Structures are given as structure tokens and as C-alpha cells.
Structure 1
Amino acid sequence: MKIITYFSIYQIKYNYRITMSNNKSNHLFLLIQTLSKSEKRNFKLYANRIRINKHAKFMKLFQVISKMDFYDEKKILEDTSIRKVQLSNMKSHLYKQILISLKLQHTDNNYDIKIREYLDIAKILYNKGLYIQSLKFLGKAKIIAKIYEYNSILLELVEFEKMIESQHITRSLHSKSGELAVESKELIEKIQYTNALSNLSLELYGLYLKVGYVRNEKDKIFIETYFRTNIPKFDFKKLFFYEKLFLHQAQVWYHYIRQDFIMCYRSSYKWVELFKNHKKAKKIAPVSYLKGYHYLLGTLFYLNHYSKFTDVLKTFEKEVKNGEILINENTKILIFMYTYTNRINKHYMEGSFSEGVQKIIPSLLIDFKKFSNRLDYHYIMVLYYKIACLYFGSGDNLNTIRYLLKIIENKKKNLRQDLQCFARLLHLIACYESGLDENMDQKIQSAYKFFIQMDDWYIVQKKIIYFFKNLGNVYPHQIKCQFKKLRDKLIKYYHHPYEKRTFLYLDIISWLTSKIENKSIEIIIKEKFLKKKKTIIKSFFK
């Protein structure tokens, strides 16, 4: 009851902040909210380097906004001497000053920023006619760019170097111009190759976000043809870090969409191992490293490989705790999402739903409050569905419905259509279980229309919808028989290449078994988990 009350209060505040965050004038507030203590301290030192700034209006504006829980323009005008007509310009000035301060503070930790800084200095020196000095800074920038494979920036450096060498006497060797021409050509080819792989990965990810897994033979042929025609020919031994990374990403999404989780596991494992073989890359591309871990855990979850899943999850959490992964506001969001998603998945596999609700939900809601105004809605939908399933497994149907409605009532119909479809199926089941079935016919009709609209009307979905539609005509003593009939029908499709995707989103078989055996779904899944565990132990000692 405490959780429900807390959430209701929180939701009011959250909805208000979401509304405000859509306002462009709120960008400054969001930026200041992401600043760490050291970044705030560094900004004050940067701004106060000019003595007059200590009492400047933009500094007072910074102090007031820093103390706010949500953006309040009225309070700003009351607590500062800034007039309303000045506020827009003052916010723009403060925003710009904070960004400059952040750039100066983080230059040493972001090698691409360092390269750009050297390039800026090189251009200034060039404009002053100091060509030799300009080339020296370009040389420094090129060394960093080559080490960390910033090929796009490296090409820009080479082109600038070519321009200096071609137009001015720099006392360089005669062969230098030829070397630069070859270097430029090789970089262009490398960038084109990398772009082809990254574009393929991005397109596949976009397809998954739109419709999820392949639904039929037509989808399968499309995705296989698309992959074959867009993946460039390659010699893996000659690939550099980023080329290998984009290749593994594209392969992961290709196998993921096709529901080939064994191949997906192999590709995601190679993805994570790539970073372990290039330890510096963990600090340079931490987002990609985190994503690799998440997809590796996701495929192990779908393969139901519990022991391997728990080992990888422990390793992941240990690396985060030990600071092996670069922590910034961006990676904090991903760590939040991936940690909670996979902790919930662990409870799914164990059948320990009630324990999951007690251990995870309170801390999840607190952390969700910190990141809610910066979370992508795709992540929010996934999290809502995970929470709903956790509540459903624990027998709390009212909270299940509460979170499913957040998915069902959203306006983004073109995002994760698969998740929206299966949220409606689980919603029907939760309404039936909770006794909130007074408008069941209307709910069934609404779900039916949505499946048709989303072009996701297949055998398993049809049988579940028709089951609920006809349930009102069944006598109480016949209900258990109807559950048995539906389970027998659905089990036939459990390993079907396309129909099986329903069971990835919804463990309908365990629910039906719970109704037939008069047990909770939590007990049914827990019994299956323990039985599998005993089987593995017996086979180990044979």
C-alpha cells in the first residue's frame, strides 16, 4: 500500500516535470541538473576568474536554478534582479558559459575534444602565417586521432595538412605531399567502409524499434535480403576496432530480429570481448560497451541459460562498481536501465516475483525519479512492461494494470508496436484475474482492433483473444476444461519459428497451468526453475 501511495504522489510530480521538459526554455534547467558537484565548483571558478562576475546576474541565476527541483520562472524573477525581458538573453548567456566551462574541464578525458582544440590552435597559427607551428599542432592531433581511431577527424586533419603543404613552402620533404595523398585516400576508403557497417546496424535497430521480431515469412525474407545486400565484403583480420564493433552490432540486431538467439549470443559475446581486448575503448566508447553487455544478458535470458546469465550479470555489476566503465550522466542512465532490467529478468527466471517486487521496485522508483526527464520513451515503455510483468507474477494485478495502461494510453503508436500489442494481451489477463471485467467485451474489441491496425494478427494472438471473447458463455464448472484446451492449442506453437515470439513477451503457458492446477503463477514458474536446476545438477554428476 505504501508503494502505491508513494507512486501516486510521484506520478503527479513526474507528469508536471515531463510537461515542463518539453518547453525549450527548460534546457538550461536540465543542463544544470546534470552537473556534478565538481562541475558546479569548476563553473564557479571559471566564471569568477573575472572579479566583476562574482555578483553578475547570470551567476545569481545559476545559484537559484541549482536549488530548484523543477523549473519555475516565477521564482527566478522573484529571487533575482533580472527583469522578464532580460531573462531569455541571460539564460542563453549562462547556458553558453556552462558549456565552455564543461569543455575546459573535460578536454583531457575526451580525446576528440583535445584533437579539436589542437586543430583550432593550428588554424589560428595558420591564419597568422606561422605554418611550421601550425603543422606541429596538427601532428599532435594526428597522433591522438590515429591511436583512438577517430578517422573522420583524422581525415579533416590530413586535408588541412595537405592544404598547407600544397600552398606554402614548409621545408618539408618532397615526398610528404605524396604520403598525404595516399593517407587521405586510405582514410576515405576506411570511413566509407565504417559508415556502411554503422548504417546497417542503425537501420536494423530502427526496424526492431518499429515492429520487434520477425512475424512471418515475408518479414524473414525481407530482413535476410536487406542484410545480405547491405553488408560490405570484409576480411575480419584486416578490420580495425570500430569496424569490428559496427559489424558485431549489425550481426546482433540481425540475429535478434530473426529470433536466432544462439547466433545472437555469439555475436554479442564477441562484441563484449572486443572491448576486453581493447581496454582503452571502455573509456572512449562506454555506451557501446554497456549496450554490448545488455544484449549479451538479453540473449542469455531468452535462451534461459540461468547460470551463465547470473555470472555475466555479476561481472557487469562488478565492473560498474569498480569504475572500469566511464561514469557520466549518459552512462548513468544506461547503467540504471540495464541493471534494473536484468535484475528483473533474473527474478523472472527464478520465479521469485514477490521477492523482486520487495527488493527492486522501491529503489527503482527512487532512481527512476532521477532520470525520468532524460529517459528515451522506448526505455520507459520497456521498464513499464518489465515492472508490470513482475507485479503480475507476484499476483498484484492492480499494479500490473496500472503500468500496462501507461503503455496502452501512450500516443507513440509507431514505437515498439510489438510491446504495445502484448501489453494489451497481458492487460486482458490481469483484468480477468483482478475481477475488473465489467467492460471486458469493450477491452477485447479494443485489443482486437489494435492488433489488426498494427498488422500483428497471428494464430496465438487470435486464440487468446477468442478464448476471452467466448469465456462469458462458459459455465463455472467448465472453465478449467477451457483453460486446458487453450493450453493444448498453444503448446503446439511454442517452438514455431514465428508464433513463438508471443511466448518471449508473455509466459501464457505458465499462467494457464496455474489456472488448471489451482496454483499461483509464481509457484508454477518457481517449480519449473527448480526442476531444471536439479536436472542440470544430476547431469553434472553423471
Structure 2
Amino acid sequence: MPNRSTDALFQLIKSLHKAEKRHFKLYIKRSSAKEDLKIVELFDTLDKLPDYDEKILLKKLPSIQKPQLNNIKTHLYKQLLASLRDLKSTDTLELQLSEQLDNARILYHKGLKHQALKILERARELAKANGKFNYLAQVISLEKKIETLHITRTIQEKTESLTQEALEISSHIDRVTRLSNLALRLYGWYVMHGHARNEKDETGIRQFFKDQLPSDAFELTDFYERLYLYQSYTWYAFIRQDFLMYYRYTQKWVDLFDSNEVMKKVEIGHYIKGMHNLLNAHFDLRNYQQFEKALKVFETFAQTPTAQQHDNFRIHTDIYINSARLNWHLMTGTFREGLSLVDTIAANLEEYTLYVDPHRIVVFNYKFATLHFGSGDYNTCIDYLQKIINDTSADLRIDLQSYARLMHMLAHYELGNDEIIESLIKSVYRFMAKMKNLTVVEEEMFRFIRHSFGVSPRKMKPELEKFLHKIKHLEKSRFETRAFAYLDIISWVESKVYEKPMSVIIQEKYHQQRKRNYGGKLVKESKRLAG
């Protein structure tokens, strides 16, 4: 069967730009023997195939027998990487440092120790200036090896400084490793489970964070130490649904880059992830004006040469910006305007198949479903939710799996599909209970829907008002906010009570908030002028 996603060589070839393909042809003709030109034939054939299919490939390559294919593919893969390294050796600081280290090792093995030491000296200064301590450790390790094994007539002060610097770097790397491990493990917990579901989750995360956080964390001043510290607090707060703390630390994360502009080029991936989380924090807190400002900053950054330089970061910047644009329509109630973006975003996701993880696809499908639910197109909403419910390849985000089922049930409820609602209530309730994903809000929702079957249409409004009263006061409860973050249940019930579309209810809240913010600014300005 054709399989575009699993053959590594095919993926690599399909990721190449025209300039990279052209450079490969020149590189291989320059550096390979005549018999190696078979790999060019294989390259051209794979480049033209829409999907990887070995049977079709062998038919198009009569000069290559099946037993030869794997060896030739392996050789082509290595040559492609060598060609890309040759082309992009100055693209990133890491590649530059790796090249200098490789050159120093070559010179050392040739017996040219002093030349090797000169290159290592330059590499050491470059690594130091950009906080690349892992590379710095490798540089110093090679310097120490040369100084230990050979008489280089290096002055005593240099050997002392090398040993002292090695100790400092080792200590620094240990601190950064512990903090980056903490950030990664917290992020991993969130990807698997979503937000803390109850006091047990909360207690466990709190204790884990306390045990793993270095005691001197807030005395650290190095860029990477602070970066991973802020990331750790970001995920810690987000898991616990402390959205104010989440906002504070995502802002610190972004501010760290704003005060170290050069690091936006050195660690662009961390910067775009920080902007993504800052926008999510504004979304969770409904900070409308700050959201707009941050999105404009991110959109401007996306057009810079730094953001456009590498495929990986260009694609993820685009994905995060599209996610933020959808969030804007979700939180302002402009669902129909948001739907105008869906086809373009879906096409981009299809184009980025090789680069986008299943988790990201699940999140976008959920957002698409929510836009259709809010605009009243329940059938299309169900289609998107089915993609999530039926997806067994992405064993991620129990919370999204749960809320996809919940919204699926509500969409059928809205369509009046009474014949399947009862079985859906049982299956969704059973799934959420099994996953320990039920909150008081969901319990009340199941209770209301079950009860509504026996209520006549003319008596439904009082029942809706009772339901609204029961869940309204839970809006500020930390363990209940999860339900409101995934699906604005309160606005949905209010739309029934006040007989208005859900989009209108959310838009009214948005405009009221903007008026309050504007009024507050006027009061502050008048006080300032009076003072």
C-alpha cells in the first residue's frame, strides 16, 4: 500500500526546496564516483512519485534490483544529509559550532595541535557569547585532552582557567538539565492528561514540582536557566488551571527574549512556543486587547527573515498563528467569520502532514467543531468530532477525547436525535467516568439532559433557568473552569434561556468587557489629569 508518512528517505526528499534539490545534484556529481550516480536516478524517481510505493518504484527503476534497493536508499539518504550540511553549514549557530569542532578534531588527528587549539579558542568564544554551554563543554573537553596528552608549552594560567571553567560549565549544565527536565516532564503530563482533574491530581503535581524545583531557582541569572524556570512554572500553572500564574510566566518567557534579542535567532523555537503560550493565556483570561496586541506582534515576527529561515519554525509559527486566529473568533462569538478560515487552515495542515504531530491535528479538529457548533451547523460539527473520537492513532489528550464526546452528544441533542441521545448519554458518561474526567458541571449537564426528555416544551425554559443557576456559580471554581474552557456551556444555556443564538450571547459579553475596559481607562486618565 502507498505510504507517504513512514519512509524516511521519501519524507526527506519531499521536504526539499528547489534550491536544495539543485545543490544536491551538483554536490553528488562533484563528490561521487560514476557508479554512485544510481542514487541520482533513485532521487529523481522518488521526487516524482506522489506517494511511496516500492512496487511502482522498482518498475520505474529497471537498473536497480530489489535486493540492492535498501543499500542504495541508505546511501542516498546519507548523501542528501551531507549535501544539506554543506549547503546550510552557516545557517545556525549549532551547525557552525559543530563544524568548528569537527575541523579541530581533524587537525588534531593530523598532528596539527596548535592549529586545532586556535580553532577551539574561536569556538569557545562563540559558544560563550551565545550561552551554548553544551558545545562549550565539548570544546573544553577537547582542549583539555590536547593539553593533557601533549606538550603545547601553554602557560600555567591557561590550564588553571580551563580546569576552573570546566567546573563552572559542569555546574551550569547540571542546573539547566534539571530545570529543562522539569519543564519537559510537566509538559509531557499535560499532553497525556490535560488539566488537573481533581484534588488528587493537584496534590500530586504540586508535590512533584516542589520536589524537583532547585532551591536556588530564583537566584539564577543565566538565559537558559531562566528560560527553563519560566517554562516549568508555565506548565505547572497551566496544568493546575491557575491561568493568572500561567499568564505571568508566559509573559516572563517572552520578555526574556525581548531583553535578549539575539536569542530570538539562536533559540527561535522557544520564542515561538512562548508567543503561542502567551496568546493562549490571554485567551483563557479573555484579555481581548492584550490578545490582539500579542497576535499582531507574532504576525509581524512571522514575516521576518528569522522566522522564515527554517521550514520547521516557519510551519509552526504559521500553525500557532492560525490557532490564535481561531481562538479570537471563539472568544468573541464571531463563529461564522471563523468558519471562513477553516478550509485554508485544513489545506495547510494537509500540506504540513510530514511536520505536524497528531496532537496538533486533534486540537484543530476540536476548534473546527466548536466553530460549527457555535454557528448552529451541528451536522458538520459532528463530522469533525467523529475524526477525534475515531482516531486511535493519537493516544493523547484524554480531556479532548472526553469533551469531543460531550459536544458530540450536545450536537445530537440540538438536532433532536432523541433515538440515539439516551445511548449517547450512557456511553459518554461511562467514558468520562472511566477517564476520571467528570466535574460537577458535567454531572449537572447529564442530569439536565436526562431530565429534559420528560419535560414539555412550554416548561423547558424554567428548567433551563434552574440548570443555569446551578452551574453559573461554578464559573470561578478552578477545577470546574476546564469545562468552560473546552465548551462555553454557560453561554450555550444562556442562549436557550434568552432565546438568542449562542454567537450573539458571546458577542454581547465581548462588547460589554470592551466597554468596561474603555470606561476604566477613561477614569484613570481623568484622575491622572486631575492630579
1:353 counterpart = 2:332: no
Alignment of 1:185-264 (within 5 A): 185-234=167-216, 236=218, 238-264=220-246
User: Residue 74 of structure 2 is aligned with which of 70, 92, 110?
Assistant: 92
Output one character per residue of 1:435-480: Cα deviation in whole Å (capped at 9) or x when no partner.
3342212211111111121112221111112222233222232222
1:178 counterpart = 2:157: no
Mapped contact 1:282–1:326 kept (Cα < 8 A): no
Alignment of 1:130-145 (within 5 A): 130-145=112-127
Mapped contact 2:4–2:11 kept (Cα < 8 A): no
Output one character per residue of 1:346-384: Cα deviation in whole Å (capped at 9) or x when no partner.
1112211001102x0121122111112331111111111
Alignment of 1:369-388 (within 5 A): 369-388=350-369
Rounded Cα–Cα distance in structure 2 between residues aligned with 1:20 and 1:50? 29
Residue in 2 aligned with 1:71? 52
Rounded Cα–Cα distance in structure 1 between residues aligned with 2:35 and 2:332? 58
TM-score with structure 1 setting the length: 0.92
Rounded Cα–Cα distance in structure 2 between residues aligned with 1:516 and 1:235? 50
Rounded Cα–Cα distance in structure 1 between residues aligned with 2:34 and 2:349? 36
SS at match of 1:47: helix
| Consecutive aligned runs of 4 or more in structure 1 exceeding 6 Å deviation | none
TM-score with structure 2 setting the length: 0.94
SS at match of 2:474: coil
Residue in 2 aligned with 1:114? 96
Aligned length: 522
Residue in 2 aligned with 1:515? 496
Rounded Cα–Cα distance in structure 2 between residues aligned with 1:454 and 1:183? 50
Rounded Cα–Cα distance in structure 1 between residues aligned with 2:395 and 2:48? 38
Alignment of 1:67-466 (within 5 A): 67-80=48-61, 81-234=63-216, 236=218, 238-358=220-340, 360-411=341-392, 414-466=395-447
SS at match of 2:353: helix
1:35 counterpart = 2:16: yes
Output one character per residue of 1:304-355: Cα deviation in whole Å (capped at 9) or x when no partner.
0111101110110011113343532211331232111100011112211001
Change (3 A) 1:113 1:382: same
Mapped contact 1:166–1:177 kept (Cα < 8 A): no
Question: Could you list the runs of 5+ residues in structure 1 that have no partner in the other structure?
Answer: 1-15
Mapped contact 1:47–1:53 kept (Cα < 8 A): no
SS at match of 1:316: helix
Residue in 2 aligned with 1:13? none
Output one character per residue of 1:200-240: Cα deviation in whole Å (capped at 9) or x when no partner.
11111111112222222222222222212211133656521
Mapped contact 2:104–2:117 kept (Cα < 8 A): yes
Output one character per residue of 1:71-118: Cα deviation in whole Å (capped at 9) or x when no partner.
232332233232222221121111111101111111111222222222
Mapped contact 1:393–1:522 kept (Cα < 8 A): yes
Rounded Cα–Cα distance in structure 2 between residues aligned with 1:318 and 1:159? 42
User: Residue 466 of structure 2 is aligned with which of 470, 476, 485?
Assistant: 485
Mapped contact 2:27–2:83 kept (Cα < 8 A): yes
Using the TM superposition, give the Cα deviation of residue 52 of structure 1 relative to its aligned residue in structure 2, in angstroms.
Answer: 5.7
Rounded Cα–Cα distance in structure 2 between residues aligned with 1:286 and 1:39? 22
Output one character per residue of 1:14-41: Cα deviation in whole Å (capped at 9) or x when no partner.
xx87x542x3xx1111111111222111
Rounded Cα–Cα distance in structure 2 between residues aligned with 1:438 and 1:375? 38
Question: Could you list the runs of 5+ residues in structure 2 that have no partner in the other structure?
Answer: 524-531
Rounded Cα–Cα distance in structure 1 between residues aligned with 2:169 and 2:260? 21
Rounded Cα–Cα distance in structure 2 between residues aligned with 1:53 and 1:458? 68
Query: Percent identity at matched positions?
Result: 39
Rounded Cα–Cα distance in structure 2 between residues aligned with 1:197 and 1:434? 50
Residue in 2 aligned with 1:529? 510
Using the TM superposition, give the Cα deviation of residue 413 of structure 1 relative to its aligned residue in structure 2, in angstroms.
Answer: 7.6
